[in-house]
Amino acid sequence: MIIKLIELLRVSGTAAGVFLAYYLGKTPQEVLSIMSVWVIVSIAGTSGIESLFFGNLTAKEKGFEQGSNYQIQSAIALLSYAAVALLVFLLKWGTSAELTIVVAFLFFMLFSAANHTRSIIVDKNYKWANLNRPFLSAMLIAVFWWPVVASF
């Protein structure tokens, strides 16, 4: 149940961030500024907390091994993305810093999608949480495309 609630928070926060960014932002830089903190904290922050405190439940939900030190390390890395996104936003480090954290995060999501795709094909892991990752990652890259490309 807790994993479903965290997932709801992750999806709701991401959707709210995308909506608010495109609704309130008038320029690509404004859209990027709003969306980067909302989306990265919603995805990386909740995923990091979920993996750190509910790791066995999360791994079971995705069909992955449980209790791995790599899972804890991955959780800490995800929390680092969220913390840096918050710092960039709160300290107003600007577009270059926002682009840096967003591009790094999107590369993580792209590689994560590749890992989930490998798990689907090689391991025959057909859990929903595993199947949807490649598509959700592609959607995430699509919504970030315009503000990222136009902000360079």
What are 20's two structure tokens? 């608010």
Q: What percent of the chain has pLDDT over 90?
A: 85
Asked if the model's pLDDT at residue 97 lies above 90, the reply is: yes
Mean pLDDT of 109-136: 94
| Predicted pLDDT of residue 130 | 86
Question: Please, what's the b/e burial string for 80-99 (b: 16 or more CB within 10 A of its CB; e: otherwise)?
Answer: ebbebbeebbeeeeebebbb
| Model confidence, pTM | 0.92
Q: What percent of the chain has pLDDT over 70?
A: 100
| Predicted pLDDT of residue 100 | 99
Mean predicted lDDT score pLDDT of the chain: 95
Asked if the model's pLDDT at residue 63 lies above 80, the reply is: no
CA angle 113, 27, 105 (to 5 degrees): 20
Mean pLDDT of 38-49: 98
| Predicted pLDDT of residue 65 | 80
Alpha carbon 18 to its chain centroid, in Å, reads 13
